[in-house]
Amino acid sequence: MGVLRLQLPTDPRWVNIVEKNIEEILTDHAWCEQKAATNAITIITNNSEHQDLVQDLLALAKEEIDHFEQVHNIIIKRGLKLGRERKDDYVNELYLYMKKSGDGSRVSGLVERLLFSAMIEARSCERFKVLSENIQDEELAVFYRELMESEAGHYTTFITYARKYGIGIDVEKRWREWLAFEESIISNYGKAETIHG
């Protein structure tokens, strides 16, 4: 799937599920943006010695919070409610893979966290593309098209820093392994009205 290199595309019929419960997809999406901001801050906290990474991830975190606000504004405008934070089984599976994949070194920990982040951004970007091209709601089609471009930029940021700071690690090989793992689990998803569900 082009630059993202995802191995398995989302079935466009997933959008039919989404359209039956717009409030749920918007709530889930809002919390995805909040978690993305929190993840960027966590990476900064654990790797504050890398000034360029800190600056770029601060900008990324601000953008994710801005996206949270944009989704929340759509929810308010439509007379809907922001529900409680949702569990994201897809991200949890990626998280467990990340935790067991590192060798315990700081460099490995950073690379794994960056590839974990890149993977989530890549799939989110792909899901936003599917939404923008298939959803009947014109406002949301435009909205998801704009966010798709932003997510692609975030994906690139994480991959770039993994390559820059992954000294002694074959980052390209690790990314191929991440892509293969993601392919092995993504077929279980795309059946619920959530961004990754």
Beta carbons of 89 and 123 less than 8 angstroms apart:
no
Whether the pLDDT of residue 25 is over 90: the answer is yes
As a CATH number, domain 13-188 is 1.20.1260.10
Domain ranges of the chain: 13-188
112-122 pLDDT per residue, tens: 999 999 999 99
127-166 pLDDT per residue, tens: 999 999 999 999 999 999 999 999 999 999 999 999 999 9
Name the pLDDT band for 4 (thresholds 50, 70, 90).
Answer: confident
What residue type is 187 in one-letter code? S
Whether the pLDDT of residue 63 is over 60: the answer is yes
**Among 157, 163, 175, which residue's Cα sits nearest to residue 61?**
157
- Percentage of residues in the chain with pLDDT exceeding 90? 93
pLDDT of residue 3: 72
pLDDT of residue 13: 95
Whether the pLDDT of residue 62 is over 70: the answer is yes
Mean pLDDT (the chain, rounded) = 96
Q: Using H for helix, E for strand and C for coil, what is the string for the chain?
A: CHHHCCCCCCCCCHHHHHHCCHHHHHHHHHHHHHHHHHHHHHHHHHCCCCHHHHHHHHHHHHHHHHHHHHHHHHHHHCCCCCCCCCCCHHHHHHHHHHHHHCCCCHHHHHHHHHHHHHHHHHHHHHHHHHHHHHCCCHHHHHHHHHHHHHHHHHHHHHHHHHHHHCCCCCHHHHHHHHHHHHHHHHCCCCCCCCCCC
Tokens of 123: 């799939």
Name the pLDDT band for 2 (thresholds 50, 70, 90).
Answer: low
pLDDT of residue 193: 93
Mean predicted confidence (pLDDT) in 49-67: 98
Beta carbons of 160 and 101 less than 8 angstroms apart:
no
Whether the pLDDT of residue 95 is over 90: the answer is yes
Whether the pLDDT of residue 27 is over 70: the answer is yes
